[in-house]
Amino acid sequence: MDTPGVWTRVRAFTRGERHAETLYAYRRAGAQVHSLLDAGERRRFDLTLSGTSPFALPRHMGLALACAWNAFTLQTLGDKMLEADEQADPGTAGFVPPVTFGQVEGYYTEVQRWLAYASQAEHDPQFDLPADILPAPLPAWAPVEPCPRPHLDAMIAALKAMRLHAEAAMHNLEQGTPPADTAKLNQLRGHFAQALATASYAASMYAPDASLALHEQVEDHAKRALEELYRVGQLLSFPALLTEGGRHARKRSGTRRRTPLPGEPGFDPWAMTDPVQVQRLRRNPDARRVIEEMWALDPDPAASVALWDDIRYALDTGGAAAARNSNGTPFGHYFCTPYCAIYEAKRPLVIGDTPVRQGQQFTIECAAEGVRIGYPFKREVVTGKFSASTIDYCDPDQPPPHE
């Protein structure tokens, strides 16, 4: 996207529009979803050629395909909305109305999460999602009625792209399904036919210059079609969802380590601390004090440890490594408790519920700052570009510095 000129900025400012630079960065980063989805479909096709029924797909492969489909759908919706706004209002290209910004940002943020899940499933045969995540619903629609006309144009364009891919996936399923799985295939055909009919109905009603009354009716049908096709695409990607409905997450085979909690044998209050700096910090009485306070005031230590275990698993499977400076030395630890090291994602990851894109630096913060005077315990995955900082002793009796 070219840098907007002065008059473009003036027009956008007078209309209250927001700079879309971040959205265009998301669009570039998410473009990888197309090759990821195509590669997954090729692997499934190769399996069916060797005699594997699509309904007996290895779990991790089905999860990877379903997550890739979700990322593809959301990326397509975001892309089409940006394109539609550019075409509808070229005078403010590079800027979008606030409602468009919020809707597209919501799509692209979810793309990161589903890409990370797909990547993890692709690289780790033991990977699984928590129960009830799939089939996933579309993110909520922007709370504005009727939706802006470019949004409807984008919905129709996205429906066309989704339909083309879903039809190809259905064709491949039909070609690769053995007679023993015909009943399951017919069930999937029923779901697909219903979604296709809803999409066709919305597309047939659509007209670019429709009246406001017709616009609102087409919008309702288009939203329902997108929701149905989004769900059916997940079933086509991983047909086992037809019977399990996402409820039965497989138990791990023991390859994932779990950090002991306070009160359990082997508990180490420094478990989440940068291993390169932990001995130095242990000798610091202020650091010892705040680590003890962190654990004592954490209302849910299991949730904090779960974030750390996600990082450990990423390290064990090659998905992350300690971030390093240009001279090759470790970057160091975060300034606040638990003084966790700064890591770099070697492939897309999800730490807790936070997507971390490939190449991004990240760490975790679990801090009791201000807890004794009413502030909530802070527990989050921190991403971004990190720089050297003075250590913070996270006083529970003082408000956080940013307050």
pLDDT per residue as tens digits for the range 261-290: 998 999 999 999 999 999 999 999 999 999
Candidates 85, 119, 118; CA nearest to 101 is 85
Who's near 166: CB < 8 A, 6+ residues apart?
Answer: 192, 195, 196, 229, 232, 233, 236
Domain ranges of the chain: 6-244, 278-384
- Is pLDDT above 80 for 7? no
Q: State the Cα–Cα distance between residues 25 and 3, nearest whole angstrom.
A: 13
pLDDT given for residue 192 in this prediction: 92
pLDDT tens digits for range 105-139: 889 989 988 998 998 888 888 888 877 788 889 88
pLDDT in tens, 141-188: 877 666 778 888 888 999 999 999 999 989 988 888 999 999 999 999
313 φ, ψ (degrees, to nearest 5)? -65, -40
Judged against a pLDDT cut of 60, whether residue 12 lies above it is answered with no
Residues 6 or more apart whose CB falls under 8 angstroms from that of 149 comprise 88, 215
Phi first, then psi: give them for residue 302, nearest 5 degrees.
Answer: -60, -35
Q: Which residues pair with 108 in a beta bridge?
A: none
Q: For 40, how many CA atoms within 13 A lie in the half-sphere containing its CB?
A: 34
Q: Which residues contact 102 (CB under 8 A, 6 or more apart)?
A: 142
Cα dihedral angle (62, 63, 66, 72), rounded to 10 degrees?
Answer: -120
Parallel, antiparallel or unpaired: strands 343-345 and 361-367: antiparallel
Q: Are 120 and 318 in contact (CB under 8 A)?
A: no
pLDDT of 4 over the 80 cut: no
Say if residue 251's pLDDT is above 50: no
pLDDT, tens only, 25-83: 889 888 888 888 888 888 888 888 788 888 888 888 899 999 999 999 999 999 998 88
Average pLDDT over residues 366-390: 88
Using CA atoms of 30, 36, 37, 39 in order, give the dihedral in degrees to the nearest 10: 160
Amino acid in position 298: D
% of the chain residues with pLDDT over 90: 37
**Of residues 71, 70, 74, 77, the one with CA closest to residue 158:** 77
Instruction: Say whether pLDDT at 101 is over 80.
Output: yes
Q: Does the pLDDT at position 254 exceed 50?
A: no
In tens, the pLDDT along 200-242 reads: 998 898 888 777 778 788 888 898 999 999 999 999 999 988 8
